[in-house]
Amino acid sequence: MSSQSSMPAREAVPTSDHAPSAPSPSIADPGPLGLAGFAMTTFVLSVFNTNMIDGALGGSVLALAVFYGGIAQLLAGMWEFRKGNTFGALAFSSYGAFWLSYYWLVHDILGNLQPADQVYKAVGLYLLAWTIFTAYMTIAAMRTNGAVLAVFVTLTLTFLFLTIGEFAKNTGIHKFAGWLGIITALLAWYASFAGVTNSTWGKTVMPTWPLANAGRIPRSRPAVSD
């Protein structure tokens, strides 16, 4: 009889150090939602800014500002954090917060500011701050794609002319900013349309023109000794 055991050999059991990790659940791309919420709210407000529709009716944009431009876009930003997209997370979270703050500013704050003849300075400062933020986000957008970059270029110009028009109390500049806002909204709608269509069809149907090295983070090279 052989001295070796006739018991079958056991299969190796993975230890905690080598146990296979559970795959991370994937989530849908939140980008088209964030862009759509931004586009629609911007479009409606900008139409009123051009005076194509009586500005006295402009309060109708507040509902969109809360629910679609605000909450929906803020949620899109949170999901971008989940996907590890720093640019999308910051952009959608910030502009979602912008629309929520816009609602509060118009609905609850501006009517109570004193002196009333100086309120335009507070609004101008508010718009200037968003101009600065949008300008540096435009630089970051140069590493995304042409569709998104176009949105940020026109949005920067929109905020800039809104700021100038507010400080100068110039309705002509304000109307011009409204037209820029409409262009911004149309570009954002296109980017949203391209995102959802390409994802649903599983191929590029609507181009977004990815920019060179988009999304790639350059790594520093090790020093080479002589």
- Type of residue numbered 62: L
- Helix (H) and strand (E) counts in the chain: 7, 0
What pLDDT shows up at residue 164? 98
- CATH node for 31-198: 1.25.40
Question: How much is the pTM?
Answer: 0.84
What pLDDT shows up at residue 212? 76
Domain ranges of the chain: 31-198
pLDDT tens for each residue of 20-53: 455 455 899 999 999 999 999 999 999 999 999 9
pLDDT tens for each residue of 203-220: 999 999 999 776 554 433
Bridge partners, 225 (sequence order): none
Q: For residues 188 and 39, is the Cβ–Cβ distance under 8 A?
A: yes
51 token code pair: 């005076």
pLDDT tens for each residue of 165-184: 999 999 999 999 999 999 99
Question: Chain-wide mean pLDDT for the chain?
Answer: 88
Q: Mention every residue, 6+ apart, whose C-beta is less than 8 A from residue 95.
A: 34, 38, 69, 73
How many other CB atoms are found less than 10 A from the CB of residue 220?
A: 5
Determine the Cα–Cα distance for residues 60 and 48; give it in Å rounded to an integer. 10
Determine the Cα–Cα distance for residues 159 and 149; give it in Å rounded to an integer. 15
Q: To which residue do tokens 């507040």 refer?
A: 62
pLDDT tens for each residue of 141-157: 999 999 999 999 999 99
